[in-house]
A and B are shown apart, each in its own frame.
Chain A
Amino acid sequence: MNDLQVQSKRKFPKGLAILSVLVLLGLIPIVIRYIYGLGAMSNLNDGRPWGLWISFDLYCGVALAAGGFTLAGAVYVFRLEKYHSVARPAVLTAFLGYTLVILALLVDLGQPWFIWHIMVTPNIHSPLFEVGVCVLTYTIVLALEFSPAVFEKFNWHLPLRVIRAIQIPLVIAGVCLSTLHQSSLGSMLLMAPTYLHPLWYTPILPIMFLNSAIAVGPAMVMFESTLTGKALGHKQSHEIMEGLGKIIPWILGIYLVLKLGDLLLAGEIGLIFTAYPYNLNWWIEILVGIVAPMVLFNLKSIRKSDTKLFWVAVLVILGLMFNRFNVSMFALAMRPGYTYFPTWMEFAISAGLVADSMLVIWLAYKLLPMMQHEPAQIAAPGSR
């Protein structure tokens, strides 16, 4: 009797409390930034004009949101119906990922209120222009791709039918836009041949960026569906976890061949032994993020266990994040005479934004039909 009473008393979950605190903490630096300028709350300087926000929020954020286009493509274009139940969560996470990128830009840009200038006086030769336009349009595409969840919830038949009709073109547009801007994030760094260390600088950087994003997309889906499963108490399908775990090593394999082949052809393979300390970053990136997952995903004992598959997916994600930090921060030389380490406020903004999206994901699972929704083709009314 007593136990029942305790159970029935609904408490504010601890996780949500932590997330809410993080969101609030992230708001303080934003206020300071808009009153006193970027220098007052960040350690960004003329020698390191792009810092934590670009490396984490933009470079990692966009890559980790690749689950949206890889899974949507797999389910709606390649017709791999098996993954249908994770497509919608993947699209939502991608949408939130891109919203996070845009919100981070509103803090990072010097004059974010002029962001529309990118449409008025564009420089079509700039890779950043391409990234900007693709991120903007793709965010809209993702919102439309996800919108059926909202329409289903409220039983709005007309918009639902409209979206269903354009669903396939939407997904294809999403794949095209993602291909372009995932690779263009690499093109952006092609502009810095004298700053980026030769272990990472290569003319095929855009292809590597796309390839690694495609590899991390499924890993991210494994990661988040396991976590939401744990947090919200529904069972993650083992078939999906195992299936994704089988695909990833192939994509990572191509990535490894590109990475090594490029260094070999450029005659720079010796750098992986001589270029201390940067070669350590390179080895960690290769061993943790590529070689280890390729081996582990192929072990039977790991394929059987969802928990182990989850942890291998975490390796892929960490490896990719380390790569993005290497190319955009650690191995990207600063101007002489400067140092950079982010302030707590820079961390607070990034953490607050991540907490934001986690809260929205939690709300979506509570309120919207996320896992069990109708298949792609809806039966015409009255046909049954």
Chain B
Amino acid sequence: MSFGVLYDSTKCIGCRGCQVACKQWNERKGEPTTNTGSIENPPLLTSKTVTRIRFTETDYNDKFQFVFTKLQCMHCEHPACAEACPVSALQKRPDGPVTYDDSRCFGCRYCMTVCPFGIPTFDWDTPIPWIRKCTFCADRVTSGLKPACVTTCPSGALKFGDREELLAEAKARIAAEPERYVDHIYGEKEVGGTSWLLLSPIPFEKVGLPTLPEEPVVVNVERAMSFVPPVLVGVAAIMTGVYWLAKRRETNGNKTAGKKEGAVKK
């Protein structure tokens, strides 16, 4: 069984308790911010803030909409970061979380470059930096607890459980109140599915989430990498063959040259 979390934007009240709980459990420092004219803060995910609530004010269906979106690692079913990581620091656990191992990472930042959701962040301000992203509170999940943000959420916007059951519940919620939600569960199919699932009253591109294909982003890479062993053997064989032929022609050429020389001498 694989865990997931369902975030229902229509139930979120924007209290940002999840941000605080996350910092407490994961021991992330606070960061100085400036007034941006919104109580949405901080403005971007950083290595100190690995989850945050985005506030979106927009028009949809001829109505003003004020929508919250929780941003954090989506914990992909086929994570690009784990496929990319050269030192196996990032790994997908069978029960859902994509975990990160401090003791392996050497800071190449390939995971940041390839994450389709643009999630992993880096300690830019220390000489000994690490990658930081939502951990799904994997340590808590292992001990049978819910992630810190889910535990703290006062309005029931976050629900932790089996991903398949959450998916069924999300579909039931949309079916029961079709006017309340867009008919789209973000994370059900995006890049092959993610452990975290989002429901929203307005289309997800309007809240700034990337529009992604259903195909996992790792497909082309996996195919390319599967050619490595045959290419290695093939190139080695061809080069050896070419060398053998060229060398033979060279020696034969020398022999004929030698004969001619000999003929002249005679």
- Give every chain B residue within 8 A of A123 (Cβ-Cβ): 82-83, 85-88
Distance in Å: Cβ of B240 to nearest Cβ of chain A: 6
> Which of A1-60 touch B at CB < 8 Å?
33-40, 44-47, 49-50
Q: Which B-chain residue is minimally distant from A39 (CB atoms)?
A: B124
- The verdict on B118 contacting chain A, using a C-beta distance below 8 Å, is yes
Distance in Å: Cβ of B54 to nearest Cβ of chain A: 11
User: Is the beta-carbon distance between A179 and B46 smaller than 8 angstroms?
Assistant: no
- Give every chain A residue within 8 A of B247 (Cβ-Cβ): 79
> Which of B126-143 touch A at CB < 8 Å?
126-131
- The verdict on A337 contacting chain B, using a C-beta distance below 8 Å, is yes
> Which of B229-266 touch A at CB < 8 Å?
231-232, 235-236, 239-240, 242-243, 246-247, 249-250
- Give every chain B residue within 8 A of A168 (Cβ-Cβ): 243
- Give every chain B residue within 8 A of A264 (Cβ-Cβ): none
- Give every chain A residue within 8 A of B112 (Cβ-Cβ): 46, 49
Residues 165-201 of A, flagged 1 when their CB comes within 8 A of B and 0 if not, give 0001000100110011001101110111111000000
User: Is the beta-carbon distance between B108 and A203 smaller than 8 angstroms?
Assistant: no
- The verdict on A261 contacting chain B, using a C-beta distance below 8 Å, is no
Contact A111:B221 (CB < 8 A) given known A172-B236, A176-B232, A192-B114 = no
Report the bound CA distance from A109 to B225 in whole Å.
24
Report the bound CA distance from A229 to B103 in whole Å.
49
Distance in Å: Cβ of B82 to nearest Cβ of chain A: 8
- The verdict on B223 contacting chain A, using a C-beta distance below 8 Å, is yes
User: Is the beta-carbon distance between B127 and A34 smaller than 8 angstroms?
Assistant: yes
User: Is the beta-carbon distance between B88 and A121 smaller than 8 angstroms?
Assistant: yes
Contact A118:B46 (CB < 8 A) given known A35-B127, A110-B107 = no
> Which of B180-219 touch A at CB < 8 Å?
208, 210, 212-213, 217-218
Distance in Å: Cβ of B148 to nearest Cβ of chain A: 22
> Which of A54-109 touch B at CB < 8 Å?
73, 76-79, 108-109
- Give every chain B residue within 8 A of A37 (Cβ-Cβ): 123-127, 129
Q: Which of B44, B113, B232 contacts A192 (CB 8 A)?
A: B113
- The verdict on A115 contacting chain B, using a C-beta distance below 8 Å, is yes
Distance in Å: Cβ of B125 to nearest Cβ of chain A: 5
User: Is the beta-carbon distance between B235 and A36 smaller than 8 angstroms?
Assistant: no
Q: Which A-chain residue is minimally distant from B47 (CB atoms)?
A: A46
Q: Which B-chain residue is minimally distant from A204 (CB atoms)?
A: B224
Q: Which B-chain residue is minimally distant from A44 (CB atoms)?
A: B124
- Give every chain B residue within 8 A of A183 (Cβ-Cβ): 224, 231
Which of the candidate stretches A125-133, A145-153, A366-374 sits at the interface with the other chain? A125-133
- Give every chain A residue within 8 A of B239 (Cβ-Cβ): 73, 77, 172, 175-176
Report the bound CA distance from A188 to B89 in whole Å.
17
Distance in Å: Cβ of B212 to nearest Cβ of chain A: 6
Residues 100-126 of B, flagged 1 when their CB comes within 8 A of A and 0 if not, give 000011111110111010101111111
Report the bound CA distance from A190 to B215 in whole Å.
13
- The verdict on B168 contacting chain A, using a C-beta distance below 8 Å, is no
- Give every chain A residue within 8 A of B114 (Cβ-Cβ): 191-192, 195
- The verdict on A117 contacting chain B, using a C-beta distance below 8 Å, is yes
Contact A192:B217 (CB < 8 A) given known A118-B87, A172-B236 = yes
- Give every chain A residue within 8 A of B212 (Cβ-Cβ): 194
- The verdict on A122 contacting chain B, using a C-beta distance below 8 Å, is yes
Q: Which B-chain residue is minimally distant from A186 (CB atoms)?
A: B224
- The verdict on A243 contacting chain B, using a C-beta distance below 8 Å, is no
User: Is the beta-carbon distance between B129 and A111 smaller than 8 angstroms?
Assistant: yes
User: Is the beta-carbon distance between B121 and A176 smaller than 8 angstroms?
Assistant: no
Report the bound CA distance from A110 to B121 in whole Å.
12
User: Is the beta-carbon distance between A110 and B108 smaller than 8 angstroms?
Assistant: yes
- The verdict on B176 contacting chain A, using a C-beta distance below 8 Å, is no
Distance in Å: Cβ of A332 to nearest Cβ of chain B: 8
- The verdict on A206 contacting chain B, using a C-beta distance below 8 Å, is yes
- The verdict on A336 contacting chain B, using a C-beta distance below 8 Å, is yes
- The verdict on B17 contacting chain A, using a C-beta distance below 8 Å, is no
Report the bound CA distance from A118 to B114 in whole Å.
19
Distance in Å: Cβ of B234 to nearest Cβ of chain A: 9
Report the bound CA distance from A77 to B39 in whole Å.
67
User: Is the beta-carbon distance between A46 and B243 smaller than 8 angstroms?
Assistant: no
- The verdict on B45 contacting chain A, using a C-beta distance below 8 Å, is yes
Distance in Å: Cβ of A207 to nearest Cβ of chain B: 9
- The verdict on B53 contacting chain A, using a C-beta distance below 8 Å, is no
- The verdict on A335 contacting chain B, using a C-beta distance below 8 Å, is yes
Q: Which of A44, A180, A337 contacts B228 (CB 8 A)?
A: A180
Distance in Å: Cβ of B59 to nearest Cβ of chain A: 20
- Give every chain B residue within 8 A of A73 (Cβ-Cβ): 239
Contact A180:B221 (CB < 8 A) given known A78-B242, A117-B106, A125-B83 = no
Nearest 4 CB-CB pairings of A with B: A110-B107, A39-B124, A129-B86, A49-B109
For the A-B complex with A183-B224, A193-B217, A195-B113 known, give 14 more contacts whose Cβ atoms are closer than 8 Å: A36-B127, A37-B123, A37-B127, A38-B129, A46-B44, A78-B242, A79-B246, A110-B109, A110-B129, A117-B87, A127-B221, A129-B87, A175-B239, A193-B213
B: residues with CB less than 8 A from A are: 43-46, 80, 82-89, 104-110, 112-114, 116, 118, 120-131, 208, 210, 212-213, 217-218, 220-225, 228, 231-232, 235-236, 239-240, 242-243, 246-247, 249-250
5 contacts between A and B (CB under 8 A): A114-B104, A127-B84, A180-B231, A183-B231, A335-B118
